[in-house]
Chain A
């Protein structure tokens, strides 16, 4: 096939246009490459310079999908302590059917962590409102982490969510807001 090479773009963009366009291309390409660079003194200095640009456009991503090691499974449950003394256990992540929001909700629940008290308090207060009918006093989260299962164990009949293959951590309870006076009266 005879190829008809495109004419030099300078003819269309003009020298000034080509210069400006080239500067943007170089800048953006540089930002794309530097953004996911591993931390170092050099990359830290450069990253600081381009951070506002990356940050405002949500380009500050490290692109490390399932790397360097896929994280083990993690799921969250919670217990509502009701005003009458009863407690009610719920699953937060496991019972969710796959859907377009499932991944986003999973990320929110994955954020429930001992080091993120403001986040799990926010989720806790949401659950207080959701279960208002139970007159909740506290919400207590428990985070369950899977221990990797070997293929030999799987063939032998063990399964990833067997009790001895999951370790649990309980977070401090989140207090629910007092119900409005009109309801308590």
Chain B
């Protein structure tokens, strides 16, 4: 019985360490800013095609959009509109919310407007969506649940976060929950790479090392001269099989303390390569942003603004197997002075 109790307590301790650390969630804020910039760029610069993509008499009618959704619970505020000027107003409000979300101004409201706006655009024209929209949706949802805006934000300037010794219960709760959301974003990235890698292993083109050639000879993605690759096909083999094995290994080795820096740099280089060679700029940028969720706060402390945003004494623990030690009794936790929030 004691053994079961100890095992249970060890598991509980591991669970809390893995998902509910009261650690700085600065990487969450980095992801917020990155996703905000990507949304602003993606939707803002596409405003010239707003009515073509989402207008009343655009490429895809509302009926066609509903048929395309094919059983998905498709909802969109844009379905309620009857004139193009309403779509334009919606776009302006959405872009303002994206800007507020990026800057961290009234973040607690802006993030929900951004999520609802993005999903409304997605479901209004499901034909026009691709991978980047799925990444936006999955990351935005978790950012909405998370207490973002606590640092690297205009909100934080108005009510600066104190150091570890002065954290109140509310702040500690926000950190624990924020860390859980950060972990889920990281898990999302790992799952994404796992299935992407495994699907590649299934294909002959990846297994035999010529998939990159197929992608680069596709006129839709051809962004660089490829004559040199045709002459030195071993480079194509290397890029193809390297990508496949990297994606399969990533979800396992990104969690390790020693391996994380290499896999993080590798993932960023992979997506920079895709941006240059295939012209997938927005997709690559968004992928790099979600990979940055794996940044460790102690790496961020090396930056110039570290003292303002990351209390140096509180760093997250890496994921590790259940420890033998029981969880720390509540009575051992040093009392903290409560801090009023404006």
The answer on a CB contact under 8 Å between B195 and A36 is: yes
Inter-chain contacts of A123 with B (CB < 8 A): 59-60
Inter-chain contacts of A100 with B (CB < 8 A): 41-42, 44-46, 282
Inter-chain contacts of A61 with B (CB < 8 A): 131, 134, 138
Distance in angstroms from B312 CB to nearest chain A CB is 9
Expressed in whole angstroms, the Cα–Cα distance for A72 and B221 within the complex equals 10
Interface size on A, as a range, is 35 or more
Q: Does A16 contact B (CB under 8 A)?
A: no
Most chain A beta carbons < 10 A, residue from B13, B15, B23, B282: B15
The answer on a CB contact under 8 Å between B68 and A111 is: yes
The answer on a CB contact under 8 Å between B53 and A104 is: yes
Asked, given contacts A107-B128, A107-B130, whether A98 binds B279 with beta carbons under 8 Å apart, the answer is yes
The answer on a CB contact under 8 Å between B226 and A154 is: yes
Which A152-185 residues have a C-beta within 8 angstroms of B? 152, 154-155, 160-161
Question: Scoring A residues 111 to 132 as 1 if CB is less than 8 Å from chain B, else 0, what string do you get?
Answer: 1000010110111011001000
Identity of the chain A residue whose Cβ is nearest the Cβ of B282 in the assembled complex: A100
Size of interface on B: residues with Cβ below 8 Å to A: 100
The answer on a CB contact under 8 Å between A18 and B20 is: yes
Distance in angstroms from A74 CB to nearest chain B CB is 7
The answer on a CB contact under 8 Å between B127 and A7 is: no
Q: Does A58 contact B (CB under 8 A)?
A: yes
The answer on a CB contact under 8 Å between A32 and B172 is: no
The answer on a CB contact under 8 Å between B214 and A33 is: no
The answer on a CB contact under 8 Å between A118 and B63 is: yes
Q: Does A56 contact B (CB under 8 A)?
A: yes
Expressed in whole angstroms, the Cα–Cα distance for A129 and B56 within the complex equals 12
The answer on a CB contact under 8 Å between A28 and B46 is: no
A residues sitting closer than 8 Å to B (CB atoms) are: 3-13, 17-18, 21-22, 25, 28-29, 32-33, 36, 52, 55-75, 93-94, 98-101, 103-108, 111, 116, 118-119, 121-123, 125-126, 129, 146, 148-149, 151-152, 154-155, 160-161
Give the 4 A-B CB pairs with smallest separation, nearest first: A68-B203, A9-B20, A67-B199, A12-B172
B residues sitting closer than 8 Å to A (CB atoms) are: 13, 15-17, 19-23, 41-42, 44-46, 48-49, 52-53, 57-61, 63-64, 67-68, 72-75, 119, 122-123, 125, 127-134, 137-138, 141-142, 164, 169, 172-173, 175-177, 180, 183-184, 187-188, 191-192, 195-196, 199-200, 202-206, 211, 213-215, 217-220, 222, 226-227, 229-231, 233, 236, 279-280, 282-283, 313-317, 327-328, 330, 332-333
Could you list 10 A-B pairs, sorted by A, with CB under 8 Å?
A: A6-B17, A6-B316, A9-B16, A11-B172, A66-B211, A69-B206, A73-B217, A98-B279, A108-B125, A160-B218
